[in-house]
Amino acid sequence: MNVIQKYGGTSLESIEKIRAVAKHIASIRKEGDGIVIVASAMGKTTDELIALANEVGKEVPKRELDALLATGEQKTVALLAIALQNLGVPAVSMTGFQSGFITTDHHSKARIKEINTERTEQYLKEGKVVVLTGFQGISEEGDITTLGRGGSDTTAVAIAAQMGWDCEIYTDVDAIFTTDPKINPNARKLDRITYEELMELASTGAAVMETRSVELAKKYNVKLYIGRSLEGNIRKGTYVMNDSIYIEEMPVTGISISDDCSIYSLRGLENDGVAIANLFQLLADLHINVDMISKQTYENNKCTISFSCTDEQASDLDKAIENHELLREILVEKQPNLSILSLVGVGMATATGVASKVFSILAKEGIQYYQITTSEISISVTVNRDEKIKAVIALCEAFGL
Ligand code: ASP
Ligand code: MG
């Protein structure tokens, strides 16, 4: 069978683990199989390299940072290829440049333009396991680029799309669960999930896979499998597929939990549009990524605008509010330390009564909630952080998760 396998940093964090991954690859490899491995940097290497760059100087040009970060993955692939060869498995490592990953020149967030798989295919024909660096590419000018944090997933999915192969993502979780098992020990493992659901879960807190890579998988119909590395032949992980082949009566598939949320309510704003535009211009200037916006209009031509942002961004905003003329006369209320619970399920697009069930469960449990947002396949509520566990457990029970 032909397959792309991606191993994350924790699966490769030490020489022992690199050896173990090599042994695993050797054990599954059969005559005639095409195996392409995509590897991340060992353990926390990328974070350490970033810290190193920041130590050297206040200004870190992104071009140089990319050149530095790319060494993390380069190290892993060479070590893995050495380990494989020592087990008698023909293997060859390649960087983003060598493996033809042509990207835009947006350093630290480059996008893949094309993949020239000629060398990869040649090595595969020679019966070699091809070990590719994740996360990096080369711009048309010939500079080293990186795809953004977590970008190795995108590398793996992109090469899978290009080759028309399946993609297996090996990581340090057993599978995708209905919710975080650390919050609800009764969380169930999901055998299958759709791309949309995984994207929604990933973007709302369950960081199993980079959202962008799942989007890419959906676009090119790449079959994904997510599981723990070295699990042997018994598949205990989760398959990601299209909803057309995924028939499930339950409206909710999973609940993601994101702890990083503050809500601001700005009362007494002029309701002329200009004040609101100015407010959001200020937020944009501060690079505050706002979520969950709502507006209430009153008869006296004033309005209240509420929005949420991360706790970290909230502290920037607090400082700006103190110093800003526009905001001085406005009553600003802040609720910090909130958690966003997002119930996600493709079944929600057609099911009715999901919101009513959520509200009645929260009411029954006496759990206060604030901002609510919905998408076609999700409903998110904000609750006080100290009530999140109670809320998650009650919601899981109600929706059979
Ligand atoms: N090593 C990179 C990072 O830590 C890319 C990846 O692991 O996906 O973000
Ligand atoms: Mg990752």
**Helix, strand or coil for residue 304?**
strand
Q: Measured in angstroms, how far is the CA atom of residue 172 from the centroid of ligand 2?
A: 10
User: Which residue's alpha carbon is at the smallest distance from atom 9 of ligand 1?
Assistant: 149
- Which ligand 1 atom sits closest to the C-alpha of 9? 7
Is the CA virtual torsion 205, 147, 307, 301 positive or negative? negative
- Predicted TM-score (pTM) of the model is 0.83
Confidence at residue 378, expressed as pLDDT on a 0 to 100 scale? 92
For the domain 255-399, what is the CATH superfamily, name and number? VC0802-like (3.30.2130.10)
The whole-number pLDDT of residue 245 equals 47
Span(s) in the chain for CATH 3.40.1160.10: 2-172
Angle, alpha carbons 114-116-122 (nearest 5°): 160
> Which among 7, 11, 46, 112 is the best mutation to test ligand 1's pocket, defined by most ligand atoms within 8 Å of the CB?
46
d(CA 90, CA 349): 49
Rounded Cα gap, residues 227 and 239, in angstroms: 9
Closest ligand (CA of 156): 1
Residue nearest to atom 6 of ligand 1 (CA): 150
Does 146 sit in the ligand 1 pocket, CB within 6 Å? Answer: no
Q: Which amino acid is at 58?
A: K
* CA 245 to ligand 1 center in whole angstroms: 32
* Closest listed ligand to the CA of 154: 1
Please name the residues in contact with 186: beta carbons below 8 A apart, sequence gap of 6 or more.
393, 396
Show pLDDT as tens, one digit a residue, over the chain (401 residues). Answer: 899 999 999 999 999 999 999 999 999 999 889 999 999 999 999 999 999 999 999 999 999 999 999 999 999 999 999 999 999 999 999 999 999 999 999 999 999 999 999 999 999 999 999 999 999 999 999 999 999 999 999 999 999 999 999 999 998 888 899 998 889 999 988 888 999 899 888 766 666 788 899 999 999 999 999 998 776 667 789 999 886 544 556 789 999 998 889 999 988 888 988 888 988 988 888 888 888 888 999 988 899 999 999 888 888 888 887 777 767 778 788 999 999 999 999 888 888 889 999 999 999 999 999 988 888 899 999 999 999 999 999 999 999 89
Superfamily of 2-172 according to CATH:
Acetylglutamate kinase-like (3.40.1160.10)
Q: What length does the chain have? A: 401
The most distant pair of C-alpha atoms in the chain lies apart, rounded to whole Å, by 79
Atom of ligand 1 nearest to the CA of 210: 8
Condensed to tens digits (0 to 9), the pLDDT of residues 149-169 reads: 999 999 999 999 999 999 999
The protein residue whose alpha carbon is closest to atom 5 in ligand 1 is 150
Distance CA 195, CA 211 (A): 10
288 lines ligand 1 (CB under 6 A): no
Q: 152: Cβ below 6 Å to ligand 1?
A: yes
Q: Cα(216)–Cα(198) distance, rounded to whole angstroms?
A: 12
CA of 136 to the centre of ligand 1 (A): 10
Q: Are 42 and 7 in contact (CB under 8 A)?
A: no
Q: How many whole angstroms separate alpha carbon 388 and alpha carbon 391?
A: 5
Instruction: Name the closest ligand to CA 96.
Output: 1
Going from the C-alpha of 33 to that of each of 22, 77, 222, 360, the distances in angstroms are 16, 20, 18, 54
The four Cα atoms 88, 90, 94, 98 give a dihedral, to 10 degrees, of: 160
- CA-wise closest residue to 121 among 2, 274, 238: 2
Amino acid (one-letter) located at 284: A
Going from the Cα of 168 to the center of ligand 2, the distance in angstroms, rounded, reads 13
CATH 3.30.2130.10 placement within the chain = 255-399
- Nearest atom in ligand 1 to 149's CA: 9
User: Would the CB of 40 count as within 6 Å of ligand 1?
Assistant: yes
